[in-house]
Amino acid sequence: MIRLTNVSKSYGKKLALSNFSYEFKDQKGYGILGINGAGKSTLIGCITNNLSYVGTIEYLGLTKYDIGYVPQELAIYPELSVLDNLMFFAAIHKMDQASAKKKALELIERTGLQDKTNDLAKNLSGGMKRKLNLITGLIHGPKYLICDEVCVGIDPISRRDILEYIKELQDEGLVVIYTSHYLDEIEFLCDKIIFVNEGHLLLEGSTAEISKEIVGKEDAGLSEIFEKLLRKDGE
């Protein structure tokens, strides 16, 4: 599991994350929700060790190679080919070349990029760049995949392909920690919902559990829950 205990992060005088405690265990998908500035990206940055923080984050039974990260900003090299991008990230994770190439070609095929294997990343469409961005976080075979707005700004077909592929990976045992402004993505991928507000853990549970507590019924959609929750928090 990934266990956070009293994790805080400040930017100057602004407290972006405040005494945040939570355990990410073996659920298929954790959806992190909150309005802009709630602390979602800061939380992701702390979990991935891309930000310094106060408090404790433990990776119990995991190594750094068991964590994959797909950022909102494209983390691919435009002057490298699709295959060479994957080989570069494989080298960072100290994979041997033969295993890395085999895994890279498998990922390329599963995301429908096989016709673009040797194309430069800069020449890919927006949706293809997002697919490549995703699989750079999967090249080393992580147990946990942390996704920050991975489908932002792409066409509906590419978005569907990416979401369905992530769903397949979850069914194969991958644990996904996912943040998005698109509530339908959270509903599709996540069986555990975490609401963050002003750097605090506001509420967590399954959609049905949160729905019953906030709306009074188990079958409310996330949009209805989110609206009522924020209205209630602002009272």
pLDDT confidence tier of residue 233, bands split at 50, 70 and 90? low
CA–CA distance, 154 with 105 (Å, rounded to integer): 23
- 153 pLDDT tier (thresholds 50, 70, 90): confident
Give pairs for 211-218: CB < 8 Å, separation 24+. none
**Inter-CA distances, 133 with 84, 85, 161, 203, Å:** 13, 9, 14, 30
Q: Which residue has the higher pLDDT, 211 or 234?
A: 211
Alpha carbon separation from 159 to 118, 184, 229 (Å, rounded): 23, 11, 27
Question: 67-142 has which CATH code?
Answer: 3.40.50.300
**140 token code pair:** 């080393």
Helix ranges (DSSP H) in 14-96: 40-47, 82-92
Average pLDDT, the chain: 91
Give the per-residue pLDDT at 219.
77
Q: Sign of dihedral through CA atoms 95, 120, 148, 185?
A: negative
- Name the pTM for this structure: 0.91
State the pLDDT at residue 65. Answer: 87
Q: How do residues 154-181 score in pLDDT, each as one tens digit?
A: 999 999 999 999 999 999 999 999 998 8
Q: pLDDT-derived band of residue 218, with 50, 70 and 90 as boundaries?
A: confident
pLDDT value at residue 34: 86
Give dist(CA 166, CA 145) in Å, integer: 9
Whole-angstrom CA distances from 152 to 78, 92, 157, 159 are 18, 26, 13, 8
pLDDT at residue 95 in the model: 95
48 or 207, higher pLDDT: 48
The per-residue pLDDT for range 10-35, each reduced to its tens digit, is 999 899 999 999 999 877 899 999 88
Q: How far apart are CA 117 and CA 125, in angstroms?
A: 14
Q: Above 60 in pLDDT, residue 234? A: no
| Domain ranges (residues) in the chain | 67-142
Q: Are 40 and 179 in contact (CB under 8 A)?
A: yes
What is the rounded distance in angstroms from the CA atom of residue 153 to the CA atom of residue 127?
A: 8
| pLDDT for res 98 | 96
Q: Computed over its alpha carbons, how large is the radius of gyration of the chain?
A: 18
Q: What is the pLDDT of residues 89-124, one digit of tens each?
A: 999 999 999 999 999 999 999 999 999 999 999 999
Between CA 23 and CA 56 the distance in angstroms is 12
For 121-144, what is each residue's pLDDT tens digit?
999 999 999 999 999 999 999 999
**pLDDT at residue 232, rounded to an integer:** 60
Residues in the chain: 235
Residue 92: CB atoms within 10 Å: 10
